Amino acid sequence: MEEIDRPRDVPEGEFWALAYHPRTLRNLCRVREALLRNCDSERRIALRAVILGALHGPNARSTASYLSNQCPRTFAPKPRYAVNFWKSRGLRPSQIDIRDLVAIRAARYFDGEASPKTGLIRKVDSRRSASYMRLGARQFDWVITSPPYYGMRTYIPDQWLRNWFMGGPSSTDYSNRGQLEHGSPEVFSNELRKVWANTAVHSREGARLVIRFGGINDRQADPTGVVKESLKKSGWELVTIVAAGRSPSGRRQVEHFGRGERSTPIEEFDVWASRSDRPAQAAAAPQ
């Protein structure tokens, strides 16, 4: 990608110097600014989506899979931990041609697509019934989700680099604004129940709800107990809970970027529920 004009805003600092090759970062910022000015066409939307997936992650040994320096996981690396990780291992970012990487990924994603797909993505608070008003008469046959696990508060900082590419700040936001309450297992279950109740109102009779759920080691709570409690009086009836195994410990980001401590990941579960004809506890009227 030839540099025709310089981007107006190129982040600086030790993290950015180690995260991306200088030329790769400048070209990435050029694309970012162009997409922020105009991302209305299907091609531009697709380009943004491809780059969001290529911003950072674990590079293969033979070829670059991502634009960034080596990252053990696809979560956004936190600046302090990432800098220590890269410096302690002498890792430097490679110069990556954005066009080449986008071409490889676009071919993988879009080649052989049988027919055009349609969909709708909305950023809303699913605990609020007003968030569902634009659905109209449409109803769900399936609701498939993996909500935050009890005690998991890092969803916003885990995506801070992608948020930057979408126009956000070039620093990590560690706040929990608008997130589920984690004060206790009971409070958390009540928060989830609001989501299940709203989806039940907008689901057909016999619809299925599938929840991938687990836990984290610093919260003393049984994941299955938390999710069972959340389904009570929600408009959904529990059908079965199936063990889904544990995430491979060698690929866990906290053990690569942290101090080397190893912990046993908690087993995850797939929870199946069916739309019941019992009224949901949460209010369905717009708020």
- CA–CA gap between residue 176 and residue 74 (Å, rounded): 21
Residue 74: count of CB within 10 angstroms of its CB:
17
Comparing 5-14, 54-63, 247-256, the range with the smallest average pLDDT is: 247-256
pLDDT band at residue 207 using 50, 70 and 90 as cut-offs:
very high
Query: How deeply is 65 buried, as exposed, middle or buried, from its count of CB atoms within 10 A (0-12, 13-18, 19+)?
Result: middle
> 76 with 158: CB under 8 angstroms?
yes
Residue 50 in any domain: the answer is yes
Domain-terminating residue out of 110, 140, 173? 110
- Residue 20, pLDDT above cutoff 90: yes
Q: Are both 42 and 95 inside the same structural domain?
A: yes
Residue 234 in any domain: the answer is yes
Residue 22: count of CB within 10 angstroms of its CB:
12
> 128 with 287: CB under 8 angstroms?
yes
pLDDT band at residue 117 using 50, 70 and 90 as cut-offs:
low
- CA–CA gap between residue 151 and residue 181 (Å, rounded): 9
What pLDDT is attached to residue 284? Answer: 38
Strand order in the sheet with 236-245: 140-145, 203-213, 268-275, 236-245
CA-nearest of 241, 45, 267, 273 to 149 is 267
Tens digit of each residue's pLDDT (9 = 90 or more) over 62-73: 777 999 999 988
Comparing 39-43, 139-143, 244-248, 249-253, the range with the smallest average pLDDT is: 249-253
Residue 59 in any domain: the answer is yes
Domain-terminating residue out of 110, 138, 161? 110
Q: Are both 153 and 72 inside the same structural domain?
A: no
Domain range for 259 is 129-275
Most confident of 126-130, 243-247, 280-284: 126-130
Residue range 72-86: mean pLDDT, rounded: 91
Q: Are both 143 and 195 inside the same structural domain?
A: yes
Q: Are both 75 and 138 inside the same structural domain?
A: no
Q: Are both 207 and 248 inside the same structural domain?
A: yes
Q: Are both 93 and 146 inside the same structural domain?
A: no
Residue 156 in any domain: the answer is yes
What pLDDT is attached to residue 89? Answer: 94
What pLDDT is attached to residue 224? Answer: 92
How many domains are contained in the chain? 2
pLDDT band at residue 280 using 50, 70 and 90 as cut-offs:
low
Indicate the pairing of strand 203-213 with strand 140-145: parallel
Beta strands of 191-277 (E only): which ranges? Answer: 203-213, 236-245, 268-275
| CB proximity list for 150: less than 8 A, separation 6 or greater | 182, 185, 188, 215, 216, 219, 221, 223, 226
What pLDDT is attached to residue 251? Answer: 46
Tens digit of each residue's pLDDT (9 = 90 or more) over 223-270: 899 999 999 999 999 999 999 887 654 444 444 444 444 556 778 999
Residue 175 in any domain: the answer is yes
pLDDT band at residue 110 using 50, 70 and 90 as cut-offs:
confident
CATH code of the domain containing 264: 3.40.50
pTM: 0.74
